[in-house]
Amino acid sequence: MGYTKKEIIRMANDSLSDIENFYKQKFLNYKGVTVDTGEYYNEVVAGIVHDSWEEFSRIRSITRRTSYLTESHSYQSSGIMTNRIEERIAIEIFRQREFQTGKILDYQTPLKDKRRDNAGKIDLLMYDGRLLYLLELKRPDSQESMLRCILEGYTYFRIAAHKKLLEDFKLPTETLIKPAPLIFEGSYQHGQLFDNRSNLLRLIDKIEQDIFIVKEYEGSYYIYKYEKEE
């Protein structure tokens, strides 16, 4: 079943009323093109997000009373067993700790204060001496769109209580905090950065989004910053 551009626009506009859950909407991952104009579904939605970006400022912060820092991670990470591929990758990246892009401080950082809170976990925290990056990791075979990745990371960025986050990790108060996707080299998301996605690239420019690329080589992970081709 295909959708017209008007139908995709309606889906996106209707979902702006529930801004905290916008990143979860199924249409963000629709593949293919509109049946009437031949535009990528993601491109149509990216255009709506670009023009409605101020709506995302309505996402409310949750003040977590307990620490964001999970002390047990520092000595249990090597023994943790999980069936979640993204979590396993996050643990291995955390164990390496030091990268040219910064130091990994923790993984799976909880955002909830109460069980009923509508919030997930930050996959990885990376500190480069000036910036604290809230990294949204996608597994190498993930079929989620680059747009979904950006919006999920930004939602968690808005939910996090920044002052407390810096305090719990004993970082300088002047530290800047930014969300950033961490995607695999050659992945579906990586390919979308080069696949004639002008609205996606306009959005990345508008919000000054940093993007990090990870690749695996001989059992180790390497992270580098994506630089847009001029």
What pLDDT is attached to residue 184? Answer: 98
Number of domains in the chain: 1
Residue 124 — φ and ψ, nearest 5°?
-150, 145
Domain contains 17: no
Q: Each residue's pLDDT tens digit in the chain (230 positions)?
A: 799 999 999 999 999 999 999 999 999 999 999 999 999 999 999 999 999 999 999 999 998 999 999 887 765 545 555 568 899 999 999 999 999 999 999 999 999 888 777 788 999 999 999 999 999 999 999 999 999 999 999 999 999 999 999 999 999 999 999 999 999 999 999 999 988 789 999 999 999 999 999 999 988 999 999 987 65
Domain contains 212: yes
Domain contains 6: no
Residue-number span of the structural domain to which 93 is assigned: 61-225
Residue pair 169/68 in contact by the 8 Å Cβ criterion? yes
Edge-to-edge strands, sheet with 220-225? 98-99, 102-110, 121-127, 131-137, 176-184, 212-217, 220-225
What pLDDT is attached to residue 124? Answer: 98
User: How far is it, in rounded angstroms, from Cα 155 to Cα 149?
Assistant: 10
Domain contains 143: yes
Domain contains 230: no
What pLDDT is attached to residue 84? Answer: 83
**Adjacent-strand bridge partners of 176:** 131
Domain contains 82: yes
pTM to 2 decimal places: 0.93
